[in-house]
């Protein structure tokens, strides 16, 4: 290992990670538990789910009946399914876009202003506070938001709005006509999600040499200028990671809808995972249809993940 400073290409005949060739039996023995687990809890369910999506199955001791593309055909013409996907756009706004943008600003303020001007401890405390909703189980958050969004004038949010506007507000948040139910779910998700980017971005900022900030400050750069010229480019990889993981979370979101609105009012807050759940567990008569919905979500998640990673690689290459 003499080449610590210079990156050298390993000799062609000596790969860094040993691969191929003859392996002792013990080598394979170590693989068995991992392979079995992967097969049992990842590969088999996914394959089974795809298989089931081509069948009609009522559940219990009945035998699945092959129906070809019938479930998929039905899915393509199912307005509830498409609406559930449309709602995903709102989930992405609430779980990816808003938390990432706000998280970026919050992290920069905590790190660069509060952490340096006041105390690191205060910044840590505030960071923990922002992260708290991530730690609280979604069921508990749902109960909390049940009070916050209670439909008549006694609801916390309605009381707050009454206080702000000076006239009595009694908005039927979770059950209202139009978009208030979707807004309610989004509100919950923003609240839950905001801590995640803050923590990741603050950790990323630890990496940045403080001298950079000091030098910029001495040169007369204001907070926004420093944010724009130093913070933002430095933590770009983390922004990608946060955007990717939260987008995937948004695509398969289930808990908040289940807890807060149960898909209502009149199916207005259906999301694909909840729709699959209703079809599978809510006494739906064709579990194969539920499997088709779940498979569709899986495909979309996989495609989005690949596109994201590709975009990230391209951005990195451009930089280099």
Partner 1 sequence: MRYRKHATTAALAAVALTLAACSSGGGSSQTPTGGATASGDNDYAGETLTVLVYENDESAMGKAWREAAKIFEEETGATVDYQITSFEDLSDTASQLFVSSDAPDLSEYNKGNGTAGALSTLGVLQNLDGFFESYGWDDKLADSLQTTTKYDENGVMGDGAHYGVPNYGEFVFLYYNADLLAEHGVEVPETLEDFEAALQTFADAGMTPLVTSAQEYPAGQLWYQLVLNDADRSFVDAYQLYDGEVDFAAPPAADGTAKLAEWVEKGYVSRSATGMTAEDAGLAFINGEAPFFYSGSWWYGRFLNDITDFELGIADFPGSTLVPGSSGNLWVVPTVTDELHTQMAAYFIDITMRPEIQAILGNAGGLPVAADPADITDENAQALIELFNEVLDRDGLAFYPDWPTATFYDDLNAGLQGLINGSLTPEQTAEQLQADYDAGTEQFR
State which of residues 262, 300, 305, 312 lies at the interface with partner 1 (CB under 8 A).
262
Residue from 98, 267, 304, 312 touching partner 1 (CB under 8 A): that is 267
Contact in structure between 95 and 246 (CB atoms under 8 Å): yes
Out of 35, 36, 39, 42, the residue judged to bind partner 1 by CB under 8 A: 42
Q: What is the rounded distance in angstroms from the CA atom of residue 247 to the CA atom of residue 243?
A: 6
CB–CB of 146/154 below 8 Å? no
Choice from 23, 35, 36, 45 touching partner 1 (CB under 8 A): 45
Instruction: Give CA 274 to chain center in angstroms.
Output: 16
The least CB distance from residue 121 to partner 1, in Å, is 36
Residues 70-129 contacting partner 1, CB under 8 A? none
Nearer to partner 1 by Cβ, of 59 and 237: the residue is: 59
Is residue 128 a contact partner of residue 136, using CB atoms and an 8 Å limit? no
By the rule CB under 8 A, 273 interacts with partner 1: yes
Tokens matching residue 222: 């204001």
Query: What letter would DSSP give residue 64?
Result: P
User: Residue 149: which of 223, 256, 71 has the closest Cα?
Assistant: 256
Contact (CB, 8 A) for 261 and 181: yes
CA distances from 294 to 48, 54, 246, 252 (A): 11, 12, 19, 9
CA 249/CA 100 separation, integer angstroms: 14
Taking the complex as a whole, how short is the minimal distance between the CB of residue 16 and partner 1, in angstroms? 32
The answer to whether the beta carbons of residues 151 and 171 sit under 8 Å apart is yes
Site map (CB under 8 A) of partner 1, residues 147-186, x = contact: --xxxx-----------------x-xxxxxxx--------
**Candidates 12-20, 124-132, 190-198, 291-299 — which segment interacts with partner 1 by CB under 8 A?**
291-299
Please state, in angstroms and as integers, the Cα–Cα distance from residue 158 to each residue in 143, 166, 186, 195, 256, following that order. 16, 11, 17, 25, 20
CB 107 within 8 A of CB 131: no
* Cβ distance to partner 1 smaller for residue 158 or 231: 158
Stretch that binds partner 1, among 9-17, 83-91, 187-195, 272-280 (CB under 8 A): 272-280
Q: How far is the CB of 80 from partner 1 (least distance, A)?
A: 10
Q: Which of 3, 61, 163, 206 binds partner 1 (CB under 8 A)?
A: 61
Q: Which is nearer to partner 1, 30 or 61 (CB)?
A: 61
For partner 1, the binding residues (CB under 8 A) are: 41-42, 44-46, 48-49, 52, 58-64, 146, 149-152, 170, 172-178, 252, 254-255, 261-268, 273, 276-278, 280-285, 294, 297-298
């Amino acid at each position: 290992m003499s080449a610590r400073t210079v990156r050298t290409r390993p000799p062609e005949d000596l790969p860094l990670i040993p691969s191929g060739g003859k392996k002792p039996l013990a080598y394979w023995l170590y693989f068995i538990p991992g392979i079995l687990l992967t097969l049992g809890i990842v590969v088999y369910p996914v394959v089974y789910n795809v298989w089931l999506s081509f069948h009609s199955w009522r559940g219990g001791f009945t035998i699945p009946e092959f129906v070809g593309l019938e479930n998929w055909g039905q899915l393509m013409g199912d307005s509830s399914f498409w609406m559930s996907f449309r709602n995903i756009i709102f989930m992405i706004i609430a779980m990816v876009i808003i938390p990432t943008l706000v998280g970026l600003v919050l992290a920069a303020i905590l790190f660069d202003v509060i952490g340096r001007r006041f105390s690191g401890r205060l910044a840590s405390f505030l960071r923990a506070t922002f992260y708290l909703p991530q730690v609280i189980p979604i069921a508990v958050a749902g109960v909390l938001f049940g009070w916050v969004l209670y439909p008549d004038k006694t609801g916390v949010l309605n009381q707050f709005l009454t206080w702000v506007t000076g006239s009595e507000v009694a908005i039927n948040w979770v059950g209202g006509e139009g978009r208030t139910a979707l807004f309610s779910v989004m509100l919950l998700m923003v609240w839950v999600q905001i801590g995640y980017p803050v923590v990741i971005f603050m950790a990323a900022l630890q990496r940045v040499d403080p001298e950079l900030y000091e030098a910029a400050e001495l040169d007369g750069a204001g907070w926004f200028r420093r944010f724009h010229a130093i913070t933002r480019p430095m933590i770009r990889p983390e922004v990608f990671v946060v955007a990717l993981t939260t987008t995937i979370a948004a695509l398969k979101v289930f808990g908040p809808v289940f807890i807060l609105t149960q898909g209502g009012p009149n199916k207005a807050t259906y999301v694909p995972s909840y729709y699959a759940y209703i079809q599978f567990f809510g006494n739906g008569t064709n579990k194969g249809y539920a499997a088709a919905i779940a498979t569709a979500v899986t495909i979309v998640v996989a495609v989005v993940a690949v596109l994201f990673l590709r975009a990230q690689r391209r951005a990195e290459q451009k930089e280099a």
